Structure 1
Amino acid sequence: MAHPTSAADITPAYLTWLMAQAVPGVTVTHVDMVEAKTYGEQFVSTAGRVIVNVRYGPGGPEDLPPRLIVKVARGVDKILAPFYENEVNFYNRVRPELDLETPRSFGAGFDAKSSDFAIVLEDLTLRGATFPSVLSPVTLDTVRSILSQQAKLHARFWESPRLRPGGDLAWAGSHVEGKVADLMMVGAEPLIQHEIDTVSFKREMVQRLRTTGPDLRNGTLALHRHQQSLPQTLVEGDMHIGNSYLLPDGSGGLLDWQLTCRGHHMHDVSYLVTTALSVEDRRAHEKDLVRFYLDRLAAEGVADAPSFEDSFTEFGRCLIWGVYIGWLTTPVVNYGWEINVINHLRLTTAFEDHGSARLIAQLG
C-alpha cells in the first residue's frame, strides 16, 4: 500500500497492513485523528507527525496502546528521503534487539520510488514523558541518565564488524559515506550558506568565530575523516537535548534516529552535553560528565575505550559538527527563534572555550 502523505490517508486498512509486519495478528478497526503536526509547527522539522486514537480487533496482542504517533514524509520535499529510509531501517533492523529507552515501534516502511515513509510509534505521553529543549532547565542527573543510554547503545556496537561493508548494519553508512552523509555534506551546503547569507545573527555568529561557511564545511570533513581512523560504533547522530525525552522517574530516552550512522562515541556525547546545559553549567561539569559516560561505557562491557584525555579532545573537535551541521542548517521556522539562537549560543561558546578551530587545524 502507498504510505500516507496526510492524516486523511491513515486508515484502519493502512495501519493494519503496516503494523502486521511487526505485530503479527493485529487488526486496526477504527482510527480517530487527534492532531496533525506539519513542517514548522511545534518543533516539527524533517517529518510530519500525526497522532491517532485507534481500536483493535480480536486476535492481536493485548498490550497494544490506544494512541499512536505516525511519522510521515514532509510534504513533497523528497530531498529528505535518505533521512526517512535511515530511520525506517533503524526501527526495523536495530530497535528490536535493543534494551534501550527509545520509543517502541509498531511498524515502519519506506518506498524508494515515491520517497514516502511511515513509522508507527508509541505515544510517549501515555507513559508521562516530557520533552526538554534548550529553554528547559535540565539537571545533571537528567544528563547522566541520557548519557547512560548513549553508553548502552555505543557499547553494544563498539567496533562491531556488523557496521562495516558486508555487515548487516552497513546500510547505516558513516559521516563520510552513504546517502545521509552525501545529503549532509553536499546537499546541505547551499542551504547552510543561504542561512549564513540571509539570517543576520547566523552571519555575525560565523564572523565572530573568524571563519566562513566553506571553512566550517572543510573542518567538518576533516573531523569526520580523522575520526574514521578511531574506534567506531553506532551513534544516534543528532543527539541535541531536543531529541530526548524524560520519564516521571527522572530517566531519559533517545529520540529521532534519522542521522544514525557509524561514528565516534564523542559525537553523541559532545552534542548532548553542550546543548543540554547552560554555558555556566557546561563549563563547570563537562569533564565530570565525560568521565561519567566513560565509566558507564566500561560498565557496559567496553574494555578498550579511549582515555579521558583522548575522548575530551575529540569532544572539543566534535563541536564543529554542532555549529555547522547541527544548527546552521536549521531554519528558524523549524524550532522557533529562541531555541535556534540559544543552541547556536551554547555551541559557538563551547567551540571557543575548547579551541575547536585549533584542534581541527591540527588534523591538517
Structure 2
Amino acid sequence: MPEFKMPTALDQVTAEWLTEALSRRYPGTVVTSAVPGLTIRATGTKQRLMLDYNDAGHEHRLPPTMWFKSGLEEHSDHVRTSHARESLFYAEIEPLGLLNAPHGYFAGTDADGNSAQLIEDLLGRNARFGAATRAVPLAVAKATLGMLARLHAHWWGAPELARLGPPGGSLATDGIVIRIMTDAAWDDALRREGAVLPPEFQTGAQARAGMEKLWAYDRTSDALCMVHGDAHPGNMFFEQDGAPGFLDYQRVMQCDWAHDVNYFLIASCDSDDMAAHERDLLEGYLQEREALGVPLMDRDEAWLSYRRHTMYGLVWNVVPPAMQTEETCLTISRRFNAAAARHDVARALDL
C-alpha cells in the first residue's frame, strides 16, 4: 500500500485527499464536496474548508467546516519539526482531554517530514478568541493553570519527552528568537514611548545573554515536562461561559514547567493583578499538579524558576509587526518589562 502523502500545496487539499485523511478515523467517509474559504498564511498555513459528505460522513457527525493546517510557506523548512509536534499533539494528546483544545479530525506526518492536520472550526462553538488587550481575569487564570497542570503532569519526567526534542524545543534550536533580538531592534524597543527595561537589559547583547542563560537552565532542569510552549493570549479561546482553552500546538516541547506558567500569567493578565496575586496562583498550580501525582516541589525553588522564566517574555519587545500587531506587542512587552523588574530577573539568572 503506497504511503499516504501530506499536501505540499493548497491545491492538493482535494476532496480525494480529504476522503483518505478522514476515513482513517471515520471509516466509510467520502468527502463529496470541498470548497476552500479563508486562507491565513503566517508561521503555518491555514485554510478554512466547507465540506459535504456521503451518508457515512454525516453519520459520523463530521462538521460542515474545519481547518486544514500545515507548513506551506517559504520559511516552513526551518520550522518543520514544529508542524510535526502539532500532528503528534492532535493524534495522541488532544484525545486525552487534558485541556480544552480544538478537536482534531486528522493528524499526520509523512516520510518526507511533511505534516498536516484537520482541526475543528471553533466558530461552530461560538468561541471568542483571546487578545492581549483583554486581560484574563484571576478566576479564569486559575482555571487555565489547572489545564496546564494536567498537561504538565501527563509525561512528567517520562521517557516519552524525548519524542519532543531537546529541552527548550525549536524556540532554542531554530534560532528565531536570537535572530530577532538584534542590537538595532533592541535599541528601537528602548526608544518606544513608555518602554522601561531593567538596567541589566539595556542592549541586545545583554538580552541575548539572558536568553542563553535561561536555556542553559532549562537543559539541566530536573523538572521537565510537556509544555504548550506558546501560551500567550493570542493562542487562547473562550467558551460562551468564559471557560478557557488553547489553540496552536506548533511549539509543544519538553521544557521546565515554569516556561508555560510564567508566559501565560504575565502575557495574559493585568500587571497589577500579577503583582498582588501571582504567588497565590502559582501555589494553586503546584497543588493541582501534586494532586495528579507529580512529586512535591520546594516552593522557594519553584518561585526562583518562575522568576527566571520571565526572561523569555522580554522577546516581545522586538517581535516584528508582521508577526503580531503593534498594540499586542506593546501591551505584552510592558507586562513583561514590569515583571522583569519585579522579579529581579538578572539576579535570578545569576547574570
Q: Which TM-score applies when normalising by structure 1?
A: 0.85
Please state how far the C-alpha of 1:155 moved relative to its aligned partner.
1.5
Q: In structure 1, the residue corresponding to 2:258 is in which secondary structure?
A: helix
Indicate if the aligned counterparts of 2:228 and 2:249 stay in contact, CA closer than 8 A. Answer: yes
Size of the aligned set, in residue pairs, is: 341
Q: Distance in 1 between matches of 2:24 and 2:346?
A: 48
Q: Distance in 1 between matches of 2:190 and 2:90?
A: 34
For the pair 1:216 / 2:207, whether they are aligned, the reply is yes
1:233 to 225, 230, 244: 225
Indicate if the aligned counterparts of 1:138 and 1:276 stay in contact, CA closer than 8 A. Answer: yes
- Kindly report which structure 2 residues correspond to 1:201-350, keeping only aligned pairs within 5 A, or say none: 201=189, 209-211=199-201, 212-227=203-218, 228-302=220-294, 304-324=295-315, 327-328=316-317, 330-350=319-339
Gaps of 5+ in 2: none
Please state how far the C-alpha of 1:72 moved relative to its aligned partner.
2.7
2:154 to 113, 132, 156: 156
Q: Which residue of 2 aligns with 1:90?
A: 89
Q: In structure 1, the residue corresponding to 2:283 is in which secondary structure?
A: helix
Single out whichever of 351-360 and 79-88 deviates more from structure 2.
79-88
Q: Distance in 2 between matches of 1:225 and 1:340?
A: 26
Q: Which residue of 2 aligns with 1:110?
A: 109
Indicate if the aligned counterparts of 1:4 and 1:118 stay in contact, CA closer than 8 A. Answer: no
Q: Distance in 1 between matches of 2:98 and 2:197?
A: 44
Q: Which residue of 1 aligns with 2:9?
A: 5
Please state how far the C-alpha of 1:89 moved relative to its aligned partner.
2.2
Q: Distance in 1 between matches of 2:92 and 2:311?
A: 30
**Matched letter for residue 334 of structure 2:** L
Indicate if the aligned counterparts of 1:188 and 1:329 stay in contact, CA closer than 8 A. Answer: no
Q: Distance in 2 between matches of 1:217 and 1:353?
A: 20
Gaps of 5+ in 1: 40-45, 164-169
For the pair 1:124 / 2:131, whether they are aligned, the reply is no
Single out whichever of 266-275 and 50-59 deviates more from structure 2.
50-59
Indicate if the aligned counterparts of 2:66 and 2:119 stay in contact, CA closer than 8 A. Answer: yes
Cα shift readout 1:159-199 (whole Å, capped 9, x = no counterpart): 22322xxxxxx2202335x656310xx354233317716x7
**Matched letter for residue 147 of structure 2:** Q
Q: Give the direction of change, closer, same or farther, for the CA distance of 1:151–1:348 in structure 2 (3 Å limit).
A: same
Q: Which residue of 2 aligns with 1:191?
A: 180
Please state how far the C-alpha of 1:116 moved relative to its aligned partner.
4.6
Q: Distance in 2 between matches of 1:285 and 1:240?
A: 19
1:23 to 11, 23, 26: 26
Q: In structure 2, the residue corresponding to 1:52 is in which secondary structure?
A: strand
Q: CA RMSD in A?
A: 2.5
2:340 to 335, 348, 351: 351
Please state how far the C-alpha of 1:350 moved relative to its aligned partner.
0.5
Cα shift readout 1:118-141 (whole Å, capped 9, x = no counterpart): 211001121121111111132111
Q: Distance in 2 between matches of 1:273 and 1:35?
A: 31
Q: In structure 2, the residue corresponding to 1:332 is in which secondary structure?
A: coil
Indicate if the aligned counterparts of 1:195 and 1:328 stay in contact, CA closer than 8 A. Answer: no
Q: Distance in 2 between matches of 1:195 and 1:105?
A: 41
Name the % identity. 26
Q: Distance in 2 between matches of 1:180 and 1:107?
A: 26
Q: In structure 2, the residue corresponding to 1:290 is in which secondary structure?
A: helix
2:52 to 40, 52, 55: 55
Indicate if the aligned counterparts of 2:31 and 2:54 stay in contact, CA closer than 8 A. Answer: yes
Indicate if the aligned counterparts of 2:317 and 2:330 stay in contact, CA closer than 8 A. Answer: no
Q: Distance in 1 between matches of 2:170 and 2:139?
A: 36
Q: Distance in 2 between matches of 1:196 and 1:298?
A: 41
Q: Give the direction of change, closer, same or farther, for the CA distance of 1:69–1:202 in structure 2 (3 Å limit).
A: farther
Q: In structure 1, the residue corresponding to 2:322 is in which secondary structure?
A: helix
**Matched letter for residue 201 of structure 1:** A
Q: Give the direction of change, closer, same or farther, for the CA distance of 1:68–1:141 in structure 2 (3 Å limit).
A: same
**Matched letter for residue 179 of structure 2:** P
Q: Distance in 2 between matches of 1:90 and 1:11?
A: 24
Q: Distance in 2 between matches of 1:182 and 1:329?
A: 19
Please state how far the C-alpha of 1:314 moved relative to its aligned partner.
1.0
Q: Which TM-score applies when normalising by structure 2?
A: 0.88
